[in-house]
Amino acid sequence: MIQNDIWIKQKAAEGLIQPFEATLIRKVDQLPVISYGLSSYGYDIRLSPNEFRVFRHIPGTVVDPKYFNPHNLEPVELHHDKNGNFFILPAHSYGLGVALEKINVPDYISVLCIGKSTYARCGIIANLTPAEAGWRGHLTLEFSNSSSADCRIYANEGVVQLLFLEGEECETSYNKRQGKYQDQPEQVIVSRV
């Protein structure tokens, strides 16, 4: 069963999402923002301004998920103008950011992460993996720019929506099996084996 705003608000008070916005925020200081916070059946998390990295080609190398070379990721500068803080994801590229919010998933919940229509309509595809039962930390967020134009991705504003799916409590949670991505800090975490 998918959880509603009442459940999300109750669990947020117990540490599910930190920091937590109990309403959907669409303006900050009278300026429009890409919405974040609580919605009817989900929670829109924000992109942290701390870090964003874009894949770059290094001649003679191949990206290997088993032996990831961090030099294949180039830090991207945080820009600022009257519209807010943003990173630029170049055309036809792939980038990694991190969620501003920290989540702490109960052992009977799995979290699906889906893209927001505001970005999807600009050619940005959010390619996110689920947060399993018992997982906690700041999600590493993956974005592909499928358009032929560079695109802004705004920091401190909504980037993806979390959907909380309830099932019977599992025998072995992510925490119990000591998953390799447990307790991720608010920074980009690369592929691990």
- Of 30, 34, 22, the residue nearest 153 (C-alpha): 34
Which letter, b or e, does each residue of 134-162 get, where b requires 16 or more Cβ atoms within 10 Å of its Cβ? Answer: bbbbbbbbbbbbeeeeebbbbbbbbbbbb
Active-site hit among 142, 168, 169, 186: 142
What is d(CA 180, CA 68) in angstroms, rounded to the nearest whole number? 15
Reply yes or no on whether 142 is catalytic: yes
Which residues neighbour 60 within 8 Å (Cβ) at sequence distance 6 or greater? none
Residues noted as catalytic: 142
